[in-house]
Amino acid sequence: MIHSDEKVRQMARSLLPSKHREAARAARARIHRAARQEVRQELATWLRFGDEERDLPSFAPWERKEIGQEVRWRRDGDKVKPFIRWATARTSDLRREDRLSHVRSLLPRGVIGEHALGHVKSADAFEDPTEKAWRNHYWVRRHAQRKGALLDRGEQAQLLRAVLLEPEGHRTFNRFLRESHTRAATPHRPLLGEHDVLPFLDTLKHPRWGYETPPAQWVRLFLQRFKEHRGHIPAVRAALEAEGLLERAEKARPREGRER
């Protein structure tokens, strides 16, 4: 077994043969080709209609979001697990705050070393738990703001009580939960009534990494639609049916009859 500097170079280079390398090259060429075409169109329009002394052409779209997405997808294909296991074993006797700098001192300088170090930074053995918690909190808040997620417990409880007051509200909500669980691994218990609102919310798991998991995601989705349609259950039901998230009533009734 190799333990010398050659082993370090081998481990760092082992990340490079990505599983996505051929597709990544094709995608990069396609994105750059589209960018060049857009630049040519912008310049042609500017030269034809623009005032060369006053107007400036649009900035060339070299930093498109597609490039960033392609880079992340390419990096996801790197074979990182053997390298992370090796780096974790080499630094297991060091303090957490010293591990990353030790790995940096072992890796070769240049693109290969920086590329390998970028993968190990986010590994559990090297990441600061406090920094990770703050980052998770940031992404949860950002995801909530972007998606309009109902993360406030008081608002969720208020909306659930409003659902219970509407005709067919209780029945529609529980039917939505029941039908949603068929796409998941395990079912979630129904809402039993107004006295059960807070205990029901206690059974929902809090989101991690900014993404909710069932059944919290189902509850948030239903309450969002309920709020958007101002508590009108037929409109909520129609919206969920149109999205394919709820079976139409005429199809659901025979199934409910068989279940009884």
Tallying the residues shown for the chain, one arrives at 260
Q: What is the pTM of this model?
A: 0.42
Backbone angles phi, psi at 211, to 5 degrees: -125, 130
Task: Give how far Cα 208 sits from Cα of 76, 108, 156, 172, 256, Å.
Answer: 20, 35, 18, 28, 35
Report angle CA 15, 111, 71 to the nearest 5 degrees.
65
Cα gap 42→143, rounded to integer Å: 34
Q: Which residue has the tokens 């082992």?
A: 14
Query: Closest by alpha carbon to 125, among 154, 105, 96?
Result: 96
- Tell me the average pLDDT across 150-155: 74
Domain boundaries, the chain: 5-120, 147-259
- pLDDT tens across 211-254, in order? 556 688 888 889 989 998 999 999 999 888 888 888 876 555 55
Q: pLDDT class for 9, splitting at 50, 70, 90?
A: low
Can you name the residues that pair with 211 across neighbouring β-strands? 208
Amino acid found at 239? A
